Amino acid sequence: MSRYQPIYDIAALCAGKGITNVVLSPGSRCAPLTVAFTRHNKLTCRTISDERSAAFIGLGIAQQTRKATALVCTSGTAVYNYAPAIAEAFFSKTPLVVFTADRPAEWVAQQDGQTIFQQGIFGNHVKGFFQLPQDYEHPDAVWAINRMVNDAINLSLQYPQGPVHINAPFRDPLYPEATNSFAYSEVVSVQDIIPAEKTLSASTRKQLAKELSGYHKILLVGGQQQHEAAVTQFIEQVIQKHNLPLVGDVISNLHDINNLVRHADLFLSQANEEVKKSLQPDLLITFGESVISKNIKLFLRQFPAKAHWHIQPAGTPADTFQGLTRTIHTEPAEFFDFLDKSETPENFEHQKQSNYQKLWEIEERKALRCLEEFFPQPEFAELELVSELIKSLPEDCTLHLANSMSVRYTNFIGLTANKKNVLVFSNRGTSGIDGCTSTAVGHALANNKPAILITGDMAFFYDRNAFWNNYPTPNLRVVVLNNHGGTIFNMIDGPSSLPESGEFFVTRQNLSAKKLCEEFGFDYLKIDNRRKVANILKDFLDFDGSTKILELETSHNLNKTIFESLKKKIKQQYES
C-alpha cells in the first residue's frame, strides 16, 4: 500500500460526500492530491493555471450545481491567489472545499522554494481551518485525515454555507512510481450530519401572530438569493392575500412575482421627504442576503421601522438597516407559511395595510412609466443596450452581472415576470470586480444552459485569464460595456470632481475586446449605432457552438449625461 493511501482516499471521500466537481491548478507539491482526484471516475476535474481565476470558476460551479466544489493548488504564493474568491464565497455563503499542498513544517522560513506560512492563511474568511498530519503511516494519522476532511465538508455545507481550508503538507517523493499499483480503499468512512428542522412552533406562531396584528404598514424586502420557483409562487400568494408590498432588486431572483416592487432604487433616489415619509413601514421583514440599492439602505436607515424582523435559518444576521429587533431562525418558506395561515380581518386596520401597499404600487408605476418613455435617447449608450438585451434574453438562461455599473444598470431596468426562468447571479458577497468573468465561466462549464454576462471593461480586462483554459464554453455570451475606464467613479459624488479623477480613479485605458477574441478564437461583435442592435443581438444570442463577445464602445461623459437625464426625469414627477 502506498504511503499516500489516506491522501488518495480523500478523493473517494469527497465523491461519497456528493462533491462532483474539482478545479485543480498545476504544481508538483499537490501531486498526491492531483493524482487522487483525477483518477476517480465519479469526479469531473478541470485544470486552470491561474489560481485566482480557478477559485472563481470553482465558485461559479458551486453556485450553479448547488454543491460544494473542491479546489486544489500547490504550495507557496499559489495559495494566496485563492483569497479573493474565498472571501467572496464566505460572504455569499457558497460552499468551497479548499485543499492546499504544503511543505513539511520544519522547512517553513528556511529559504526552501514555494514555502510560506500557510496555516490559517485565509483568517476569518473561511468557516474552518484543518491542518492534516504530515506523516501518514500511523493508524491514528489515517483516522485523523479522514475525520478532518469529513468535518470540513460537513462544515462547508451547514448554514451558513461557505469555504473551508484543508492544508496538506507532503514530503518527497511526491509522485507514485510507475510500477506502484493505485487503488482507493475498499471502505472509506463517510460521516453525515442530518440538519435540524427549522420550523416555527405553535407557541412561536401564536406570539408572532399577536405582534403582527399590531402593525398596519408592513414592508417586505428580499435580498440576494437563489431562485426557488415553488417558494416565489407561495410568496406571491401570501403578499396578495395580506396586501404586503415586497421590494426586491434584480439579484433577489423574485422577478417572477407579478406585483414585485422592482424599481425602488430609482424612485427612492429622487422622491421627496413627504413621499418617503408615507412609505415608512411600521414593521420591516427581510429575508435573503444583501441588496444592491444604496437608496433603499438610506431610506430604511433615515425612516426606520418600529420593528425589523429578519428571517434566516441560523447564525448571526447582518444589521444592514441599523434597526434590527428580531431574528427568526427558520426558512423563508416556513415563515411565509405562517403568514399564509394568519387571519386577515376585513376591518379598518386591514384597510390601512391595503392603502400602504397601494402607495408603493403607485411609486413603482411612476418609475416604470418613466423608463418606458425614456428610450430611445438621442445617442445610443450603455443603459439602452442593457435594456434591449434584457428584452431579448432567452427564456431559460443564467444572467451574470459584473459589479459597478453593470449590476446597477440591470437593476435600474429590472426583470419582469415573463423572464421567470432567467436566474440572476452576481458576486455581491464582497462586490469586487476581480472574478466576475471567471465566475460566469464556472457557471457555463457546469451545464449547457445559456450563460450571459454583462460586464464593464475594467472588470472584463482585469479577469481575462478566465478564458485561459482548455475547456470550450459555447453557451457563454459576454457583453462588454467599454467606456475605457471606471465610469462609476465619474458618476458618484467625490472622485468625479477631483483633478486626479481621470488618471487615479476612472483609470482610463484604450483596450478593445477584439484582440482578446482573436487570441482565444471567440466570435467578436460590435455595436456602433442603434440601427444594428436588433440584428446584432439576434446573432449574439444564436447559440451556434461559439463563445461570443459583444462590445459597445462609448464615452464616460455620454453615459453620465444619459444617466443624469433619467434621474432628472424621475425627479420631475415629484416637482410637478
- What is 386-453 written as a DSSP string? HHHHHHH--SSEEEEE-TTHHHHHHHHH---GGGTTEEEE--TTT--STTHHHHHHHHHHH-SS-EEE
Cell numbers found for residue 51: 489560481
> Is the same domain home to 381 and 341?
no
Cell numbers found for residue 272: 421627496
Read off the pLDDT of residues 491-529 as tens digits, 9 standing for 90 and up: 666 666 666 666 666 677 889 999 999 999 999 999 988
Which of the listed ranges 243-252, 343-352, 565-574 does the model predict with the highest average pLDDT? 243-252
**Rounded to 5 degrees, what are φ and ψ at 521?**
75, 30
Read off the pLDDT of residues 380-432 as tens digits, 9 standing for 90 and up: 999 999 999 999 999 999 999 999 999 999 999 999 999 999 999 999 999 99
Burial label for 139, CB within 10 Å (0-12, 13-18, 19+), is exposed
pLDDT for residue 327: 97
The angle formed by the CA atoms of residues 119, 120 and 124, to the nearest 5 degrees, is 175
Structural element, H or E, at residue 218: strand 218-222
Residue 474 sits in a domain whose CATH number is: 3.40.50.970
pLDDT for residue 3: 86
Read off the pLDDT of residues 95-104 as tens digits, 9 standing for 90 and up: 999 999 999 9
| Sequence-distant (≥ 6) Cβ neighbours of residue 318 within 8 angstroms | 290
> Is the same domain home to 91 and 228?
no
CA distance 300 to 312: 20
Residue 275, CA distances (Å) to 279, 307, 568 in order:
6, 20, 17
State yes or no: pLDDT of 119 exceeds 70.
yes
Structural element, H or E, at residue 287: strand 283-287
| Sequence-distant (≥ 6) Cβ neighbours of residue 13 within 8 angstroms | 146, 149, 150, 153, 188, 189, 190
pLDDT for residue 443: 98
The angle formed by the CA atoms of residues 163, 18 and 32, to the nearest 5 degrees, is 70
Residue 191: inside a domain: no
Mean pLDDT for the chain?
A: 94
Q: What is the mean pLDDT of residues 192-204?
A: 91
By DSSP bridging, strand 523-527 and strand 307-312 are unpaired
The angle formed by the CA atoms of residues 25, 146 and 38, to the nearest 5 degrees, is 30
Residue 339: inside a domain: yes
Structural element, H or E, at residue 35: helix 31-38
Residue 539: inside a domain: yes
CA distance 50 to 40: 23
> Is the same domain home to 437 and 307?
no
pLDDT for residue 435: 97
pLDDT for residue 495: 62
Distance of CA 453 to the CA centre of its chain: 13
CA distance 339 to 205: 9
Q: Closest Cα to residue 449, out of 413, 415, 482, 473?
A: 473
pLDDT for residue 250: 98
CA distance 436 to 460: 8
- DSSP H helix total and E strand total for the chain: 21, 17
Residue 193: inside a domain: no
Q: What is the mean pLDDT of residues 120-139?
A: 96
Print the domain residue range for 261: 202-372
Residue 220: inside a domain: yes
> Is the same domain home to 431 and 347?
no
Q: What is the mean pLDDT of residues 201-224?
A: 95
Residue 121: inside a domain: yes
Neighbours of 539 (CB within 10 A): 14
> Is the same domain home to 348 and 389?
no
Cell numbers found for residue 541: 444570442
Domain boundary among 355, 372, 389: 372
> Is the same domain home to 12 and 78?
yes
Read off the pLDDT of residues 131-182 as tens digits, 9 standing for 90 and up: 999 988 899 999 999 999 999 999 999 999 999 999 999 999 888 877 778 9
> Is the same domain home to 316 and 456?
no
Cell numbers found for residue 293: 440599492
DSSP string, 149-209: HHHHHHHHHSSSP-EEEEEEE-PSP-S--TTS-----S--------PPP-PPPHHHHHHHH
pLDDT for residue 499: 66
pLDDT for residue 508: 78
Cell numbers found for residue 450: 445559456
Read off the pLDDT of residues 23-55 as tens digits, 9 standing for 90 and up: 999 999 999 999 999 999 999 999 999 999 999
pLDDT band of 553, cuts 50, 70, 90 = very high
Domain boundary among 169, 194, 216: 169
pLDDT for residue 503: 62
Binning the chain into helix, strand and coil, the percentages to the nearest 5 are 45, 15, 40
Residue 354 sits in a domain whose CATH number is: 3.40.50.1220
pLDDT for residue 456: 96
Share of the chain above pLDDT 90, in %: 87
pLDDT band of 130, cuts 50, 70, 90 = very high
CA distance 262 to 265: 8
pLDDT band of 297, cuts 50, 70, 90 = very high
pLDDT for residue 573: 84
pLDDT for residue 491: 62
> Is the same domain home to 495 and 543?
yes
Share of the chain above pLDDT 70, in %: 95
* Under 8 Å between Cβ of 309 and 285: yes
> Is the same domain home to 326 and 446?
no
pLDDT for residue 157: 97
Domain boundary among 320, 351, 372: 372
Residue 182: inside a domain: no
Q: What is the mean pLDDT of residues 539-565?
A: 95
pLDDT for residue 29: 96
As beta bridge partners, residue 309 has 285, 326
> Is the same domain home to 358 and 503?
no
Read off the pLDDT of residues 73-94 as tens digits, 9 standing for 90 and up: 999 999 999 999 999 999 999 9
How many structural domains comprise the chain?
3
pLDDT band of 476, cuts 50, 70, 90 = very high
> Is the same domain home to 382 and 334?
no
Residue 188: inside a domain: no
> Is the same domain home to 333 and 402?
no
pLDDT for residue 175: 86
State yes or no: pLDDT of 489 exceeds 60.
no
CA distance 94 to 16: 20
Q: What is the 3-state secondary structure (H, E, C) of 467-512?
A: HCCCCCCCCEEEEEEECCCCCHHHHCCCHHHCCCHHHHHCCCCCCC
The angle formed by the CA atoms of residues 292, 85 and 145, to the nearest 5 degrees, is 135
